[in-house]
Structure 1
Amino acid sequence: MELLFNYLSNQTLIYFCLIVAIISFIESLALIGLFIPGMMIMSAIGAIIANSHEKFYPSWISSTIGCLLGDWISYFIGFKFKNWVKKLRIFKKYYVIIKKMIKILNEHSISSIFFGKFIGPARPIIPILSGMLEISFIKKFFLPNFLSCIIWPLIYLIPGMLTVLLIHLPKNHENNIFKKFLIFNIIIIFLSIWTIWKNIQNKKNIIINFLNKRKISWLPKIILIIGIINIIILQFNQNMIILRSSIVKIFYF
């Protein structure tokens, strides 16, 4: 990953954006994206952007274009070659996951197409399945897919950007406590949201079963509220003011 970071950092803006578009394209391409560590690569790109503010908007646009092309090609592969796709070994290997996705797509096609972009295993599968199920490209697929491809790069770039900005804060005891407290609260917020979402979906796993058996399914909600309150309180910290200023500079370089 360090070699990739150094390689991308030394590229001109045009080549950097071209690489970002290709990475986003491959990440979104039918089934192939399953084997690409998307979050890690996009986080590395986000870290580079945080060090070079002028790359943010070109990278965002490039990633969106690559994402859209990958999804649209995947859709038409599924639409035109559904019988051939079903015979692929990889399709049979992930059949259990695919079967669940087909059920969700049949019941909630538009929302599944939008939110599927942000779920690792679903990202490269939803578009090709949409084509195989002959979900209308214009009426149901295009808009949620277009919106998700605009938002997806932002969500995947932010961890890398935030990491670099936190590293650049002056090093002292108070700042170290601030960094750890901020990261801790971000983690518990995401974990709480994930747990609540799984509980809503009635997904059986160790955590959900434990909470239900102990009759403390309310615990993630309390933790989520505490995490949000802590983040709000941190907004008045001097380090957060510096961090917000750095984030604003990326958007308004």
Structure 2
Amino acid sequence: MLDLHAYAREALSFVQAHAHYAPYVAFALAFCESLAVVSLVVPATFVLLGLGPLIAAGGVPLFPVWAATAAGAALGDTVSYWVGFHLKGSARERWPLSRFPEAIARGERFFHRFGTWSVFFGRFSGPLRAFVPLIAGMFAMPHILFQMVNITSAMAWALLLLGPGAAAVKALGW
């Protein structure tokens, strides 16, 4: 069984000891967090939440870490979108997606209900974040529209994860 607390502690300890790697770690975590299925087994959100205060306390500028987090999230969703776009309906029968039929069905209902907005709002929901970009690709959402919403939501999501912790550390003078 994967010990999520131990994983989070190790990742945060690494960043604390090697602050100059923070943007790379943030990129990798956000990328994994945004990939279909992979995001269900990589608890990156907790680590990214803890990264905000650490980078501020360590004197690492927020902008490069925020940009890397947003880029990783947008790229992860783009990969998921293209997988869905190329596999179309057969994605449901392919491993490992075939192991999550209810999650895909829930994502499809969300996508059909909210359309373009589902890509934006799905980013902020862990279970949906794993499947909405894939489903947007399966249903051939126009690529340029997907990317506009994908990049915008990735930038907002990254700021929401990193910003409050970094701002609190600065405000408290730690």
Task: Please give the TM-score of this superposition, normalised by the length of structure 1.
Answer: 0.60
Match of 2:150 in 1: 145
Asked if 1:157 is matched to 2:166, the reply is no
- Relative distance call for 1:53 and 1:12 in structure 2 (3 A) is closer
Residue correspondence of structure 1 range 85-234 to structure 2 within 5 A: 85-138=91-144, 140-158=145-163, 160-161=165-166, 165=169
Identify unmatched segments of 5+ residues in structure 2.
Answer: 1-7
Deviation for aligned residue 1:160: 4.2
Partner Cα separation in structure 1 for residue 43 and residue 165 of structure 2: 14
Tell me the matched-pair count: 167
Instruction: Decide whether the 8 Å contact of 2:70 with 2:154 is kept in 1.
Output: yes
Deviation for aligned residue 1:106: 2.0
Match of 1:9 in 2: 16
Match of 1:59 in 2: 65
Task: Please give the TM-score of this superposition, normalised by the length of structure 2.
Answer: 0.84
Partner Cα separation in structure 2 for residue 53 and residue 114 of structure 1: 31
Instruction: Decide whether the 8 Å contact of 1:76 with 1:131 is kept in 2.
Output: yes
Identify unmatched segments of 5+ residues in structure 1.
Answer: 169-241, 248-253
Partner Cα separation in structure 2 for residue 31 and residue 4 of structure 1: 21
- Listed one character per residue, the Cα deviations across residues 199-252 of structure 1 (whole Å, up to 9, x for unaligned) are xxxxxxxxxxxxxxxxxxxxxxxxxxxxxxxxxxxxxxxxxxx54xx59xxxxx
Partner Cα separation in structure 1 for residue 69 and residue 109 of structure 2: 29
Partner Cα separation in structure 1 for residue 105 and residue 38 of structure 2: 18
Deviation for aligned residue 1:7: 1.0
Instruction: Decide whether the 8 Å contact of 2:103 with 2:131 is kept in 1.
Output: no
Partner Cα separation in structure 2 for residue 44 and residue 114 of structure 1: 23
Partner Cα separation in structure 2 for residue 75 and residue 58 of structure 1: 25
Residue 70 of structure 2 aligns to a residue whose secondary structure is: helix
Residue 118 of structure 1 aligns to a residue whose secondary structure is: coil
Instruction: Decide whether the 8 Å contact of 1:43 with 1:161 is kept in 2.
Output: no
Asked if 1:73 is matched to 2:79, the reply is yes
CA RMSD of aligned residues (A): 2.3
Partner Cα separation in structure 2 for residue 28 and residue 61 of structure 1: 15
Percent of aligned pairs with the same amino acid: 26
The one-letter code of the counterpart of 2:158 is P
More contact order relative to length (CA 8 Å, sep ≥ 6) = 2
Partner Cα separation in structure 2 for residue 144 and residue 83 of structure 1: 23
Deviation for aligned residue 1:3: 2.5
